[in-house]
Chains A and B, each alone.
Chain A
Amino acid sequence: MNPTDLALRLWPPAASATAVETDWLILAFTVLTLLLTVPVFVAITWFAIRYRQGEPADRSHGTIRSVLIEISWMLIPFLLTLIFFVWGARLFFISKQAPGDAMVIEAIGRQWMWKFQHPTGQSEINDLHLPIGQPIKIRMISQDVIHNLYFPVFRMQMATLPDRYTEMWFKPDRTGTYRLYCSEYCGTDHSRMDGTLTLMTQADYAAWLQNAGAQQGGQAGAGRAIYESYACGTCHDPGAKVRAPSLAGLYGREVRLADGRIVTADEAYLRDKILNPNRQKLAADYKQVMPAFRNVIPTDDLDRLVAYLKSGRATAQQEASP
């Protein structure tokens, strides 16, 4: 179904359980809103007619004024609305805790396009194909300004920030073609930074991956190519002329730094070291010779490179080399 089929639509389609519950939340809230406001509107209108100047109305025994009334119309609506605060917060926390088996899609925002990469390595520009019935986690980052990845069909959005990863997750449960947007204003073509989200059955998705399979081998496989193209091995491979720490099995290990601190080589450490090796994170017993790759390596290449270093493959391949 094409999303533009309907000329006028008054309610957006929903394609996840969270989205459906968000709809119930806002509908129930609207009912409460009406309960709180309609009496006020009716009262104002009724008083305006009933007590117009010159109307023979009984204005004696004026409104009883008491602290009790004031306190009660202060507290009762507040407590009622707090129900929705709790409900909203609960849904929010669910949407923050991705299940462990979620499929991870890497997303990169840049002026003015989205780039998505599937775990199997295929990447798409602006369009995104996803299987239903499977939790999906999107890890995203921006290459320039702040963007915001927005899927109305999941009632979900999250900012992409420069130099910091953010995440969101959802579990699609309905096939179809929907829209995705950038919802944080990001410059000239902000309104063209949108795309199509295609939700398909697992089988269709698998078939789509086959056909679209551009870069096989996944993130880490692509990362191997990056490792080669930047000639990282010239220094870091065992037996290289320049003495640099071996990267085999580095990920997750503890590293002693020149200033005596001991840090864990996690993902942030790897990224930092590549972008800016001089940031007081020199490993002990080594000299500072590595150039900084900030503004040299694009973020998506960096992602692949880090994925490669994280994968066991870096170890295996390096040990295999002479």
Chain B
Amino acid sequence: MTSGTITDGPALRDPHTPDSRIGHGPDYLHAEHTLRSWFFTTDHKRIALLYLASITAFFVIGAVTAGLVRLALVVPDGQVFTNDTYNKLFTIHGVVMVWFFLIPSIPATFGNFLIPLMIGARDLAFPKLNLASWYVFMTGAFFTLVSVVLGGVDTGWTFYTPLSTAFSNTWVVPALIGVTIVGFSSILTGLNFVVTIHTMRAPGMTWFRLPIFVWTHYATSLIFLLATPVITVALVLLIAERAFHIGVFDPAYGGDPVLFQHLFWFYSHPAVYIMVLPGMGVISEIVPAFAQKKLFGYRFVAYAAIGLASVTFFVWGHHMFVNGQSDLASVAFSVLSFAVAVPSAVKVYNWTATIHKGSLKLDTPMLYAMGYIGLFVLGGLTGLYLATLAINQHVHATYFVVAHFHYIMVGGTVLAFLGGLHFWWPKFTGRMYIEAWGRISAVLIFIGFNVTFFPQFILGYLGMPRRYHVYPAEFQFLNILSSAGSTILAVGYIFPMIYLVYAIWFGKRAPANPWDARGLEWTVASPPPAHNFLTEPQAPKVPYDYPIQARETGRQHS
């Protein structure tokens, strides 16, 4: 192993690793077969699949609890569960969905798999650290599952003190430990991405030749690095407060319960963009590929990602307009929250302009992308309603907020996740899924989602508070409508789990580039070889070099 003792001179290689420039190895799925080769792999592609399996499991837990919550809300008098059970159900739904699905969803799976391929690298900069971050994630997951198995938590995913520190009688500490640990997994992933994007780009792959997917992941990673430590401190203090009554959040000792909310939202608002930005990256890949047209306004879209990641650090106070925050602070947070909508709007208009005069194929990923644009726009604009101080005084903590963030989280992140999953599934597995099933479930999810969540905007404006198990009877009709929609949504989620898994064994073999898309990941075989590139990757001179381009005469194509 040590034959390659090297000075700073030209690189010699460890003879045991096949050189991608020389050898023709098997693809990464078949390079090795043992269980050990999966659980101790340092291949970013295999780690991505480990993450994909884990977050899918968590998505199922989160979705089942959501289904139970919707079931409970069919009747207004809370007869399905006890109040405590209901509170635990929505807490588990929130904790699992936010920290164990949405935050790692796109970065840890697609980001892990695709960033090295897109920039022409053999792996992430720190492959062992990448594996370690999955184990850290699973350790955190273990603690959270322990708390759920022992009897659950009932604080809500926001863990507001003093409820969480002094009044709740549930398993708060294991849940908090789990969430704290998962934060380290995010930090390690973000660190790996930042270093990889900075140092591992193939020769000729300049910053402005990078796909937008890489740009948005770079912005996301910055948020991981800069915001996560703050939630770590906040949660550590919260654990200490609950276990030892140290007093930081207790007014009896000169502490302040609202301080926790500041620390919490200083992370958790940027965390919204941890969930949203990678989704924007996915959409920015899908839309040009299925319009066969160069992405409109590439630089603006790239800068918008960085802009979002920056401004998002200054808007956390809009979660606390009615929590006794000073009025001037509220006004400042309000106007900054309006400003944060600007880069989002840039992206939406540029995607629309990309479709204009393209040559559209309405395949499954594109259907998801179009659904995404519609739902994200609604979610974003209702966010502006919430940023308007006078409206916020009314709809704060009502179902309006619930509807708003589900339009962003489900309409945004989950749809982008599913779109990306269908877009890159052939690359991940080397197989094609059945297109018709894909289209059916995309349409089902879009319809089911809107039936589930649109009534909640109305419920919220009517004044139904969130996290209510027992609610006034006049809200029952809209709640039943919402619950009915969730069953359609559930069917839409179950279909892909079946036909995508089916495709792994029985699907048609996928060509290297089934969508005729641009980008380095499509220049390698499907599935990619174990070391990604058999020949030195050639960076394209322009990103998104599709046949149709703005301000050029359209060329003929098939």
Contact = CB atoms under 8 A, between A and B. Distances in A.
Query: Do A and B touch each other in the complex, judged by CB within 8 A?
Result: yes
Interface of A: 3-12, 18-19, 21-22, 25-26, 29, 33, 36-37, 40-41, 43-44, 47-48, 51-53, 57-65, 70, 73-75, 77-78, 81-82, 84-85, 87-93, 95-96, 111, 144-146, 148, 150, 152-153, 155-159, 161-164, 166, 179, 181-192, 194, 294
A194 B468 CA distance: 10
Given A74-B345, A144-B162, A191-B470, A33 B553 contact: no
A190 B467 contact: yes
B176 to A, nearest CB: 17
A153 B34 CA distance: 64
A43 B356 contact: yes
Interface stretch (B206-214, B406-414, B416-424, B458-466): B458-466
Contacts, number: 274
B156 A185 contact: yes
Chain B interface mostly: helix
B388 A29 contact: yes
Interface in B336-380: 338-339, 341-342, 345-346, 348-350, 352-353, 355-362, 370, 373-374, 377-378
A187 B355 contact: no
A88 B390 contact: yes
A188 B154 contact: yes
Given A93-B327, A190-B83, 19 more contacts: A9-B462, A21-B390, A29-B385, A44-B352, A53-B361, A61-B553, A63-B357, A70-B297, A70-B346, A78-B342, A85-B335, A85-B338, A85-B388, A88-B390, A89-B331, A92-B330, A146-B160, A157-B393, A183-B465
Interface of B: 78, 83-84, 87, 154, 156, 160, 162-163, 166-168, 251-252, 257-258, 291-293, 296-297, 300, 321-324, 327, 330-331, 334-335, 338-339, 341-342, 345-346, 348-350, 352-353, 355-362, 370, 373-374, 377-378, 381, 384-385, 387-394, 396-398, 458, 461-463, 465-474, 476-478, 548-554
Contacts of B474: 3-9
Contacts of B397: 148, 150, 157, 183-185
A53 B360 contact: yes
B334 A145 contact: no
A59 B548 contact: yes
A92 B296 contact: no
B257 A161 contact: yes
B287 to A, nearest CB: 10
Of the candidates A10, A44, A185, the one having the most CB atoms from chain B within 10 angstroms of its own CB is: A185
A62 B549 contact: yes
27 contacts: A3-B472, A3-B474, A4-B472, A4-B473, A40-B349, A47-B356, A59-B359, A70-B297, A70-B350, A84-B388, A87-B390, A89-B331, A96-B327, A144-B167, A145-B162, A148-B397, A152-B394, A155-B393, A156-B394, A157-B394, A159-B324, A161-B257, A181-B463, A183-B398, A185-B160, A188-B87, A190-B469
Contacts of B473: 4
Given A59-B358, A183-B397, A162 B251 contact: yes
A62 B391 contact: no
A187 B297 contact: no
Contacts of A26: 385, 391, 461
B83 A192 contact: yes
B347 to A, nearest CB: 11
B473 to A, nearest CB: 5
A63 B356 contact: yes
Given A4-B473, A65-B296, A188-B154, A37 B377 contact: yes
Contacts of A90: 390
A177 to B, nearest CB: 12
B389 A33 contact: no
Contacts of B338: 78, 81-82, 85
Nearest to B478: A8
Given A51-B358, A91-B390, A157-B393, A148 B551 contact: no
Contacts of A19: 394
Of the candidates B349, B389, B465, B470, the one having the most CB atoms from chain A within 10 angstroms of its own CB is: B465
A85 B389 CA distance: 7
B554 A41 contact: no
A92 B390 contact: yes
Nearest to A162: B251
A111 B160 CA distance: 15
Contact of A85 (B160, B166, B334): B334
Given A85-B338, A95-B390, A161 B324 contact: yes
Given A62-B552, A95-B393, A12 B463 contact: yes
Contacts of B327: 92-93, 96
Given A63-B550, A92-B389, A185 B359 contact: no
Nearest to B320: A159
Contacts of A152: 394, 462-463
B193 to A, nearest CB: 27
Nearest to A34: B381
A191 B323 CA distance: 19
A10 B455 CA distance: 10
A62 B160 contact: no
Contacts of B373: 40, 44
Contacts of B463: 12, 150, 152-153, 179, 181
Nearest to A96: B327
Contacts of A189: 83
Nearest to B345: A77
